[in-house]
Copies of this chain bind each other. A is one copy, B any other.
């Protein structure tokens, strides 16, 4: 049983949709209609009227493309971080010759609002404003869900565009997409479709900035996706689109509020079973994501992961980077946001650490 925080296990109906013969995306209107319907349905999952687009590439493509599309050389970008993905945005900004200012908090702490406000105020005072700010909703490697609202309040106050990595929260918990200029998702997390598609909700304001910037890359560029009525930028990933369309239909049938509730119940069960086993959450419960739970097991995480797979055929993940051996992660997202499955996973962990 695959229980990693992405790629998640994919339901049989979604896998079967992928095995159907596909229409040609360049020639047959049937494909364009499916794509349009998918984008409209994703607006419901995102809870927004912003345009939603679905380029063909793994989720990280969206993060890079948002920066490549918005950031001109010399543009100042405020990168707000309390984890690896938050920090990674600064590397993308560097790649496109932007000027990244990284405001980092500890990985088990919330965003540093005072430091963020100070950076925004300093920039205003120096008459050298930030063009945009980057944030991460769910820091998957630590299982942290960040409260975006106070930061979005500040960004609105200082009139700074927002780019949010919501890859592992979208479809699992509400995301304030209407307040976000570029809100990024991916097929293989809570949507429980195979990896290979980026999703992005883009505000009119963000489109206008891209139009002005005139990004020239084809593949790391969101702009050609604004209007695909005359054709897609390249041959679309037809089977992946069919799978995501089926996955999103399933979420809509269940009802997005019910889906969010299901994630809350699965997360709550996971944490409760952890408490019973004497495990510590990483971070504390107030920041724990409803889509992935990180348990703090300094120095033991990789051993526990291997034994759970060897003895119980359940595939978990550890963290990444410096914390790779310190956190074991249970990915109760999407198809795996299920109390019964969480119980099976926690039974296995209980057995291994007994």
Are A21 and B2 neighbours in the complex by a CB distance under 8 Å? yes
Could you tell me which residues of chain A, from 1 to 37, have a CB within 8 Å of some CB in chain B?
2, 4, 6-7, 9-10, 15-16, 18-28
A109 at the interface (CB under 8 A from B): no
Q: Nearest Cβ distance between residue A301 and chain B, in whole angstroms?
A: 12
Known: A60-B233, A188-B235, A196-B196. 4 other contacts (CB 8 A): A15-B21, A26-B317, A59-B234, A61-B234
Copies of chain A in the complex = 2
Are B195 and A61 neighbours in the complex by a CB distance under 8 Å? no
Residues of B near A15 (CB, < 8 A) are 18-21, 239
Kindly state the separation between the CA atoms of A195 and B19 in the bound complex, as whole angstroms: 13
Q: A18-B18, A18-B19, A239-B194 given as contacts; is B64 within 8 A of A218 (CB)? A: yes
Q: Nearest Cβ distance between residue A153 and chain B, in whole angstroms?
A: 31
Are A57 and B6 neighbours in the complex by a CB distance under 8 Å? no
Residues of B near A22 (CB, < 8 A) are 7, 10, 194
Residues of B near A23 (CB, < 8 A) are 2, 315
Mask: chain A, 77-98; 1 = CB below 8 Å from B; 0 = not: 0000000000000001011000
Could you tell me which residues of chain A, from 44 to 73, have a CB within 8 Å of some CB in chain B?
56-61, 64-65, 68
